[in-house]
Amino acid sequence: MYIFLNDKIVPEPEAVVSVYDHGFLYGDGIYETMRAYEGVIFMLEKHLGRLGRSASFLKLRVPDEELIRRAVYQTLDANRLSDAYIRITISRGKGPVGLDPALCTEPTFVVIAEQFKPYAETLYKEGVRLIIAKTRRNLAEAINPMIKSLNFLNNIFAKMEAKERDAYEAIMLNAEGCIAEGTISNIFFIKGDILCTPSLDTGVLDGITRDLVIGLAKGAGMGVREARFYPEDIFGAAEVFFSNTTAEIMPVSKVEDAIYGAGTVTRALRDLYRERVTRYVEENRGRKG
């Protein structure tokens, strides 16, 4: 396996980062997760845009977009991958101990690409179990959830709760008790004929999949409501699903004790999403940066 580290492709055993890297010492850095279909990186420009936004929140100097784009495609090529999971990580870099970002002169830039491991089809057929975590989502005034940062303890605590309770994913509420998001996903539910999802001002990551799903639903003539919702709203919903780049649209069979039936709306949205991916791949085939 080959990794892009700073300015070149290296074999995985040589892709090592200093113990003085501030990403390791303080979680000072950012990342993006992407998915490639048949060699085409889905929504690459959106991911690069969000990476740039995360960087500006941290006042982190990052390589220019053109270089990142080339590095990502080079990593895919070096590993001869076409259906892949891709992660870009950029940390503050190596520097003496201390919180001041100015201690680090060069950011550390890493691209990892691995063969995409498909989720079991039974998960999509039967849906997955979710809990509502006791761990609350970070306040936007603390670590803004809009930053895809290496500081992931908030989500890790909620994921640990999910595992302890044998659930697939945990829904985090914000400090006021409104439904925010999953540990690595955005949450949707169907009520009446309306597709509901927490509004961005609830304090969530503006998922790229979330945005696509909203667009697809509106395009299909569905009503969409982005607002502040509470656990009672999801308990009374007809269908629930979560979204993210790797799982796309994943149906939910249970949230706490509330049970949801086979989701026809969820399935229809998933079909529309798959069509969108297919079209994107056709339109962008052969692009290498």
Point out which residues bind ligand PLP (CB under 6 A): 33, 155, 181, 184-186, 205, 207-210, 243-245
Q: Tell the smallest beta-carbon distance from residue 32 to ligand PLP (Å).
A: 8
Rounded Cα distance, 189 and 253, in Å? 12
Residue 9: what are its φ and ψ, rounded to 5°?
Answer: -80, 130
Q: Tell the smallest beta-carbon distance from residue 164 to ligand PLP (Å).
A: 19
The nearer residue to ligand PLP, 108 or 149, going by C-beta atoms, is 149
The nearer residue to ligand PLP, 15 or 200, going by C-beta atoms, is 200
The nearer residue to ligand PLP, 176 or 206, going by C-beta atoms, is 206
Q: Tell the smallest beta-carbon distance from residue 151 to ligand PLP (Å).
A: 12
CA atoms within 13 A on the CB side of 89: 20
3-state secondary structure 48-86: HHHHHHHHHHHCCCCCCHHHHHHHHHHHHHHCCCCCEEE
Nearest CA to 213 out of 238, 237, 242 is that of 242
Q: Which residues are CB-contacts of 49 (< 8 A; sequence separation ≥ 6)? A: none
The nearer residue to ligand PLP, 81 or 213, going by C-beta atoms, is 213
The nearer residue to ligand PLP, 104 or 255, going by C-beta atoms, is 255
- One-letter amino acid at 275 equals E
Q: Tell the smallest beta-carbon distance from residue 172 to ligand PLP (Å).
A: 8
Which position's Cβ is nearest ligand PLP? 207
**62 token code pair:** 């990052």
Q: Tell the smallest beta-carbon distance from residue 170 to ligand PLP (Å).
A: 11
